[in-house]
Amino acid sequence: MSPKQLLKVSPSPVQKAMVRELEDWDDLTDARPLILVATSPQAARAYAKIEPLVLSLQKRKTRLKYAAVGDDTALEFVYSLFEAGIVRLKVEDILKPPVSGHIEKLADSLIDKLKPGTMVALLEARGDNSDFAQRLVAGGLRVTRLPVFSRENQDLVALPKSDNPWWFLITQSSYLKSLVDEINSQKIDPKSVNWIGNVMSLKAAVSQVAPEARYHMVENFIPERILETISKY
């Protein structure tokens, strides 16, 4: 196993700054709903490890509504919200886009369903681009960004020579090109490379940078589902 990225919960200074911004931005006496959006499965887990943020959200739990970018993210969100002592929900209680993983469609759904001026807090990674937030703001919503974790890129380890196919689990397209370049530099036959992902947008990204590779769609990243997919080949 060779992770392409290491994920780290935001350090204490960032945690304090984000909680301070949330407290300044949202008045506890405000009766309007506050929409908490998980932009990735990692974000849906990471915020629950930040105690000051959890405490701040607990104060607002009667006003909180929830959204997630896809099915996997919603499932992680359900678990973490319960573990953090905020609320017990079903996946069906969380707003998701009509196409799982399609963040633009999630933005459109939020804009369609929410009144102008509704407050939306985005749980995201440090360094995420601002397109999603800007789309929401353009749609009349108030937005604050909460960078609950960071990604640190790692080099691919030297892979051993093998006649067996290679399997790579991919969760986002941002590091796909560099990973393909590293695979090619190790002279691995592109036809022996298999990618596993859970959204069709990743399939399109793989087709662009590695047209000879195969993409396998899974419903979610439960280990049993991944092993079942691999065992068929």
pLDDT per residue over 137-152, tens digit each?
Answer: 999 999 999 999 988 7
Tell me the pLDDT tens digit for each residue of 108-134. 999 999 999 999 999 999 888 889 999
d(CA 103, CA 116): 19
Q: Coil, strand or helix: which one is 193?
A: strand
Specify the pTM. 0.73
The pair of structure tokens assigned to 195 is 């990618």
Angle at CA of residue 84, ends 79 and 85, nearest 5°: 105
Tell me the pLDDT tens digit for each residue of 155-165. 777 888 888 89
- The pLDDT score that the predictor gives to residue 174 is 72
- The pLDDT score that the predictor gives to residue 3 is 54
Band of residue 202 on the pLDDT scale cut at 50, 70, 90: confident
